[in-house]
Amino acid sequence: MFLGGGTVEKEYMEDGQPLFYIEQPEWKRPPQTGQTVSVKKKTSDTENKRKKKRERDRRKIREKTVELEKDSQTETVGKEEPEATHETKREQHDIKQDVLDTLDYLEDVPHYIHPVITCETEEEFVEGSILETTNETITIQEDHQVEPVSIKLKEILNIRIISL
């Protein structure tokens, strides 16, 4: 069927070209390949030295605890200690080590991520983001409080990461 019976339609049909078509512009690829920006935290020499010192201190503490455990095991051959107290000491040591490991992990998180944690002590339960950690204390900013809370590492029973 020809529209209008004209000769233009006959020519297009014979050439194999469509009667109606939409002219589309030529598609060009973008010059860049998506995300090209990444954030890297540059650590200064003092931060690297501080991290290495912390790692050495923790290794020394671990070695001392292993030595003390070996000494206590050799001393307990002659004496019998109640099993419960020995197990509770070991559990407390494991808990403290978990707290230290969690804090080490959180120190290596990039600066633009503010992880939310919960910190449990005997007196209180604190939830917020870490502002500062030292060898003795941790400072946490709670969402609903104006003043940050400082907690001694010795008092911490457990730390959990809520979100990263």
- Structure confidence by residue, pLDDT tens digits, 52-70: 888 888 888 888 877 877 7
State the sign of the Cα–Cα–Cα–Cα dihedral 60, 65, 66, 72: positive
pLDDT band for position 40 (50/70/90)? low
37 compared with 65, residue with greater pLDDT: 65
Q: What is the pLDDT of residue 1?
A: 47
What domains sit in the chain, N to C, each tagged with a CATH number? Answer: 45-163 (2.30.30.100)
> How many residues in total does the chain contain?
164
**pTM across the whole model:** 0.42
Q: What is the pLDDT of residue 146?
A: 85
